[in-house]
A = this chain, B = another copy of it.
Amino acid sequence: MLVREAARAQWPLEHVYVGESAAIDMDGVPVTVVADGVLERVATTITPRPVIAVGRQRLVAIEELPTATFLVVLDEISDPGNLGTIIRAAESAGADAVVVGGGVDVFNPKCVRATAGALFFTRVARVANAESALRVIGGWGMRRVGTSASAPRRYDDVDLIAPVAVVLGSEAHGLGAEVVASVDELVSIPIVGRSESLNVASAAAVLCFEVARQRRAP
């Protein structure tokens, strides 16, 4: 449950509202019980759980991340479900932070839900565009690896053990030209079947867990 995850992550919550039929113990956060049916009218889901929390939006600045060893940089992701699923996969695979360059807002309710709480456990930086973030990241000596369906180099054929920023592009257009010009290397996930490409969140999962796999290997 999202609110429980936010509390577990000590995310700054200001107030929690629960339906009469729900019991909740929130350490240090004011809880207000409201009549059954009220939350259903406020929530953005059709069948909400009977708990709503109000919390601050917390972001980091890109400048706070120079000691990261694993970043995920996103260029104009437009679907909130994809963005949330990518944040969940990135956090699960051990990424230090996700850098969101343009596209849909990370606090879009569908995105927050799709993170399944991972949003509270990872750092997110929001930048106007991915290429400006990549220039900063490159200045730290971190390798910037972009993904492109047509790149000849395979994603599992590059060293992902050294500090790396994995870069993924929009659903419709992939990486923008400015972003391609700002990475050190392009890799692809080879398609074995007849599909033309992978969903961007699937590609992110494959890439992030390849980082985890290489770093775990003896």
Seen from chain A, the residues whose Cβ lies within 8 Å of a Cβ on chain B are 9, 81, 85, 88-89, 91-95, 114, 116-118, 121-122, 156, 189-199, 201-206, 209, 212-213, 216
Q: Check B195–A121 contact: CB distance below 8 A.
A: yes
What are the 5 A-B residue pairs with the smallest beta carbon separation, nearest first? A94-B192, A202-B205, A91-B193, A121-B194, A92-B195
Q: How far is the CA of A54 from the CA of B122 in the complex (A)?
A: 45
Once the chains are docked, how many angstroms separate the CA of A103 from the CA of B28? 40
Provide a sorted-by-A list of 15 A–B residue pairs whose CB atoms are within 8 angstroms.
A88-B199, A88-B202, A89-B198, A91-B193, A92-B191, A92-B193, A92-B195, A92-B202, A118-B194, A121-B193, A121-B194, A190-B212, A202-B204, A205-B206, A206-B206
Copies in the complex: 2
Given contacts A85-B202, A201-B201, A206-B206, is CB(A193)–CB(B95) below 8 Å? yes
Q: Which chain B residue shows the least CB distance to A193? A: B91
A199-B213 Cα distance, complex, nearest whole Å: 18
The CA-CA distance from A194 to B85 in the complex, in Å, is 15
Q: Point out the residue from B114, B122, B193 that lies within 8 Å of A94, measured CB to CB.
A: B193
A192 touches B212 (CB 8 A): yes
Known: A9-B194, A189-B209. 16 other contacts (CB 8 A): A88-B198, A91-B195, A92-B193, A92-B195, A92-B197, A116-B195, A116-B197, A118-B193, A121-B193, A190-B212, A190-B216, A201-B201, A202-B202, A203-B205, A206-B206, A206-B209
Give A117's nearest chain B residue, CB to CB: B195
Name the B residues within 8 Å of A216 (CB-CB).
190
Complex: A92 Cα to B192 Cα, angstroms: 5
- A132 CA to B197 CA in the complex, in Å? 32
